[in-house]
Chain A
Amino acid sequence: MTWGYLGEGYTLRSWLTTHDHKRIAVLYMVAITAFFFLGGAAAALMRMELATPAGDLVSANTYNKLFTIHGVVMVWFFLIPSIPSVLGNFLVPLMIGARDMAFPRLNLASWYIYVLGGLFTAAALIAGGVDTGWTFYTPYSTRFSDTNVVLVIVGVFIVGFSSILTGLNIIVTVHKLRAPGLTWFRLPLFIWANYATSLILLLATPVLAMTLTLVALERLFNVGIFDPALGGDPLLFQHLFWFYSHPAVYIMVLPAMGVASEIIPCFARRTVFGYRFMAYAILGIASIGFLVWGHHMFVSGQSMYAGMVFSMLSFLVAIPSAIKVFNWTATLYKGSIYFSAPMLYALGFVGLFTIGGMTGLILASLALDVHLTDTYFVIAHFHYIMVGGSVMAYLGAIHFWWPKISGRMYPETMGRIAALTIFFGFNLTFFPQYLLGWLGMPRRYHEYPPEFQVLNLFSSAGAAVLAIGYLLPLAYLGWSLFYGKRAPANPWQATGLEWQTGSPPPQHNFDAEPVVTRGPYAYDPVR
């Protein structure tokens, strides 16, 4: 037994100059983990402040900077690169039987671009932070804020190109480097999901990059198209921003759906229910997701008729999402279910995503949204999708493929304890926020009337549990790197191509090019 791609070099230089997609994936994993805990620290300070009604821990200005940096870091430096750049990079070539991504040097460049964007954002933090919220709404961001808006915009602009290049690489790889016999409808759903995500990355990210550039130019030179005082229109900014930022939600959740579609069939020992519908649903979500951005603007003065159309389209996008939830559930039916740690994360993902999705329909209803806009109901809704959905799936994926990535097994009992801790802590943090929002507590305030304190205390207590839950995998996965049991090639008896090579795989992935003769989930039932 050798150490595969991990044994190709042990120096820092061998890692920083690598063209191997698997090593680049590990570089991404290290970088986004650092940003995850940075964004998490900002959230922890916010929940500490909100434990009491009075604004006593931090000032209002500091609080504004905390939620801004939390949003910026978590969205652009953790969630968007999480599954595509770490697991997509690692798994796409392995799952399709390729030796590497189509453009290995571009792949490494995208990681350096990510780091450069991260440095700009970190510099803005050190220089005193930024207080516009991650949404950079004009004219506040262009005319009034006296914080480091331009520096953060430069950081987000740069990191966007890292996502674009990863997306481009995945698209070309999936088109051109599939193994013999691997037709489109034999592709694992993880590949479908990352392919659709890459399309969104390519189509949406450049719009954000240019929109933020226009904000920066307007701020620097006092000419532009967003400020009413300059003959511009702030609604134009909101249209452009959400044209990117709503599809960005699908950038975060589609890969998570791909992960669930790999883990659930494996630990239910059944083929995924309705494979083709699952693939079409991914494409449906990716396409309709581009046409719903106006539901972020129901109360910002867009035409009522536009609002009605956007509301209807937002209900439509729920249909393919629901198909996926029903199909995961049907996959479990009569399966031989084994509650391993990845399975607990995947099942947690399905449940929390369902709650997040259903409350999204409440927000997509015009009349209800007037009451709920900019309340904690919105916060709870999108955290159920992004944290309950995407982060749960990311952690599930890290556990599921940990033997492949590291060549070691993680400690199973600890894995289950962490999964349950995170599930419990997450619900305790965010379910009370639905109630707070329904009762009318607005988002983005550092103090609140005393009658909201009980629910806020539950939420802050939940955040403490959640923090422990997130620190646990950091500890035991780090431990397993040195002391974990050596992993066999296929510890889960899974069917994917990535399990047919060593753990960890050799640098060229497969000793002989695999030939595919059947669909991706040919699991035999356990009798």
Chain B
Amino acid sequence: MPTTPFDSTLERREADLLGIWAFLVTEVLFFGPLFFGYVHGRLTHPEAFTAGSHHMHVVLGTLNTAILMTSSLTMALGVAAARGGRKSLRTWLVLTALLGLAFLGIKASEYWMESSEVAQASGAELTFYFLYFAMTGLHAVHLTIGIGIVAWLWRHASRYGAAYHSPVEVTGIYWHFVDVVWVFLYPMFYLLQRYSA
């Protein structure tokens, strides 16, 4: 017989929430060297980073930002539905996953269009593109994992209700983290210096 370390589901929920926050601390530091490398690259090659931001597809990037922010809303509504023990949990989870997939689809089409521009780039502009692909790529990996977990929650949605719902909450916190990372990436690559002179 397996031993559970907890006395109650309440105690378990507290541990789950602390666990995901501790994990996100690690995640922030995992992205850290990339952000540090971006600052370093920007300081040493400002002109190349300015030129790079002009090659970004800002309309698609903005659209994607809106899609991702909306997915955070549907995720939050899903968490509220789980806490209230409402059936709508499944609907919100499906919407969240679909919005995530839409983001990935648009991102992929951007990558496709940018690949020809990368072939023409040289010197420090390559550093810009390297950081762009590394950072948005890592973000996309995180989003893909998030979609997978949301799909898993959808399959087991009947388990969650007013009494026990910490997996939905934990996934929600992770999902919002992935969105917040994008909130930083979007201005860093698409907006900075694009509209100056």
Contact = CB atoms under 8 A, between A and B. Distances in A.
Contact of B3 (A99, A164, A209): A99
A99 B131 CA distance: 46
B131 to A, nearest CB: 7
B4 interface: yes
Interface stretch (A41-49, A167-175, A517-525): A167-175
A93 B18 contact: no
Contacts of A176: 11, 14-15, 18
A80 interface: no
Contact of B44 (A164, A211, A233): A233
Interface in B108-135: 123-124, 126-127, 129-131, 134
A438 interface: no
A93 B124 CA distance: 52
Nearest to A173: B5
Contacts of A299: none
A204 B48 CA distance: 31
B52 to A, nearest CB: 12
Contacts of B127: 223-225, 230-232
A99 B26 contact: no
B31 A210 contact: yes
Q: Which size bracket describes the interface of B in this complex?
A: 35 or more
A220 to B, nearest CB: 12
A104 interface: yes
Nearest to A509: B3
A164 B25 CA distance: 11
B5 A104 contact: yes
A101 interface: yes
A230 B37 contact: no
A240 B15 contact: no
Interface residues of A, number: 40
Contacts of A20: 3
B29 A206 contact: yes
A103 interface: yes
B45 interface: yes
A209 B5 contact: no
Given A99-B4, A231-B123, A236-B36, 13 more contacts: A99-B3, A100-B3, A102-B6, A102-B15, A104-B5, A202-B25, A202-B29, A203-B26, A206-B27, A214-B33, A231-B41, A231-B126, A240-B36
23 contacts: A19-B2, A99-B3, A100-B4, A102-B5, A102-B15, A102-B19, A104-B5, A176-B11, A176-B15, A203-B29, A206-B26, A206-B27, A206-B29, A207-B30, A207-B33, A209-B30, A210-B30, A210-B31, A214-B34, A214-B134, A217-B130, A231-B45, A231-B124
The 9 A-B residue pairs whose C-beta atoms are closest, nearest first, are A206-B30, A100-B5, A206-B29, A210-B33, A231-B124, A225-B37, A223-B130, A176-B15, A102-B15
